[in-house]
Amino acid sequence: MKAPAIQHHGSGKQRLWWAVIEGAIADWTRGPGRQKREAERFLFQDEDDFPFVCRSAGLNPQSVRETLWAIRAHTAAGPSRNVA
């Protein structure tokens, strides 16, 4: 017997908090100067609201930050160049 696929869309509240995180990431990656800096501070330095928002979205704040740090490091490295 094949197990049914499990799809977790979360509650309405969880989806709302997901949208907050997605908005902050969008501001960090594509926002204008001040908006970008505020989003970066929230995503990487905030120790009160960020963990609350992540947990409210059903996410582990530390795991989210680790992923964001990896993205930040990859972006800072820029495109790799293969010089022959």
3-50 pLDDT, tens digit each: 333 344 689 999 999 999 999 999 999 999 999 999 999 999 999 999
Tell me, yes or no, whether 30 lies in a domain.
yes
3 occurs within a structural domain: no
Summarised one tens digit per residue, pLDDT across range 46-72 is 999 999 999 999 999 999 999 999 999
Q: What's residue 10's pLDDT?
A: 81
**Residue 2 falls within a domain, yes or no?**
no
Which residues in 49-65 are b (16+ Cβ under 10 Å) and which e?
A: ebbebbebbebebeebb
Non-local (6+) Cβ contacts of 21 within 8 A are: 53, 54, 57, 59, 64
Q: How far apart are alpha carbons 63 and 83 in whole angstroms?
A: 35
The count of domains in the chain is 1
